Amino acid sequence: MSSKESVLGCPNNSSVTHEESVLEHYFQLLSQSNFDKAKELVDNEKDGHKFSTAASWGETLQCLSQLATAERSYCNLVFLGQKRFTQIVRSKDSAKSIYSMLLQEFQRMETFLLPHGDRERSSSAETDKLLAHISGQLSFFVRGRLKMIEFFEQLSSLGSLKQWMNFEDLVMILEEIVKDHMKGFHHPLVVSLKTVFCLECESLCHMLNAQIKISSWNFLQATMELYQAHAKLNEWGSKIPIKEVALHIPQVKSTFGRSSSKSSPYPPIYTWMYKLKGHLLSKFGIYFYGVLGKQTIPIELKANLSKAPEDIFNRIQAFHKKSDASNIYLILDTQNLQCPVGDGGYHHPQKYVEERVGLASYQPIFSFPGERSIYQPHWPNIIMLVDHSRDQIDKIYFFMEKRPQSSYFISQIEPKIFLVVIFEGKKNEKDSGINTFMLDLSSQLRCQTIMSSLKNFARS
């Protein structure tokens, strides 16, 4: 080692063993989602190892080959797609089964390979000690993967349930996974794998927090969470070699209008999370339409929203034109919100804001047509109907006022957000066009649609 290398603490290449070199390359390939090459690397090493006397290295290579298979299955979300093909998929081939088997093997190897007695003086003692240490750390990683499989299964199932999604609980579960498993694998050889695991969990956590802040109309914190999610996703995407991917994730719609992940060079788990971020960005644009409108001119705002992954504004505009609705509102119930609601979602945390009461506790956060002034006689009726329609998920509450003759349709999007459509004149309560639009938009804005689409991204 040169004097310069000694000062920098850089090891000489000659001090790196063959096993360390293979392990470092293998984990680097896994972190780049290059599962086939990672498996090929250890399989070739395993074939060349048949004439070696170090059985521990052969066992490790066998486990790493299985780990590459499990990682490919996990990142392709195969464990979600398998539920549709339970008759032809063997349970022992599922990602959860492989990870469970690997957990037992890594725990066994951690104990078995630790040198003791005469083995401490053997020539392979240092290698066994390294492999035991790596096995112990990989057991933490595998536990984390098993927990994440359960987490994604839960996310997917929530999209079809007729109940509110508790995003606060989801964030707590995700933070617990990171806390319990991230500190367990920290060896320099597995740091690339740890980095990707961390980016995956943190980006998803930021997006779920963004959903919470958007739904409680907290502009600043929602913006910060979306920015952090964007930064983490970009950093994760940058780990994949540029030669392997295009510069942008293509969004190709299938015959049935559903975005397809098959054309994306990224693994499905990343593609879905990128889509989730786009969905939240689109939702952010609608919930804070009034705030954003004060920072630009209407034409530019509409143009920017049309570039969002989901053009919710144009969808509302098209329905308004087709149905001849008078007004379409998103109403925020500010009562008992954790963060006081200021003008347009802005509020300094140390500034006192008097609590809104009565009619003032209900606030329209979106109105279309935006240029039309709010017709005040509607508001007492709207607030009364909002109170009557609480906790009726996936249901439309209808009311007709005789004087003036107006028809009201109300759907609860989230615990504090309501969708209201008003027509001047009499409308049929069971009008399929109105009901379908409101139910679909409500499901989209409460994130049920994006959650239920998770299983559609599964790729074998």
List the beta strands (DSSP E) in 277-405: 327-333, 362-368, 397-401
pLDDT band, residue 21 (cuts 50/70/90): very high
Rounded Cα–Cα distance for residues 358 and 269 (Å) = 45
pLDDT tens, 97-139? 999 999 999 999 988 877 655 545 455 788 888 999 999 999 9
List the beta strands (DSSP E) in 220-313: 252-253, 259-260
- Tell me which amino acid residue 51 is: F
Rounded Cα–Cα distance for residues 202 and 377 (Å) = 47
Rounded Cα–Cα distance for residues 311 and 44 (Å) = 49
Query: Closest Cα partner for 290 from 243, 337, 341?
Result: 341
The secondary structure element, H or E, covering residue 22 is helix 18-31
- pLDDT number for residue 305: 86
Residues linked to residue 400 through DSSP beta bridges, in sequence order? 407
Higher pLDDT, 84 or 79: 79
Q: What is the pTM of this model?
A: 0.86
- Mean pLDDT across the chain: 83
pLDDT tens, 347-368? 666 776 666 666 677 888 899 8
* Helix residue ranges, H only, 182-267: 191-215, 219-238
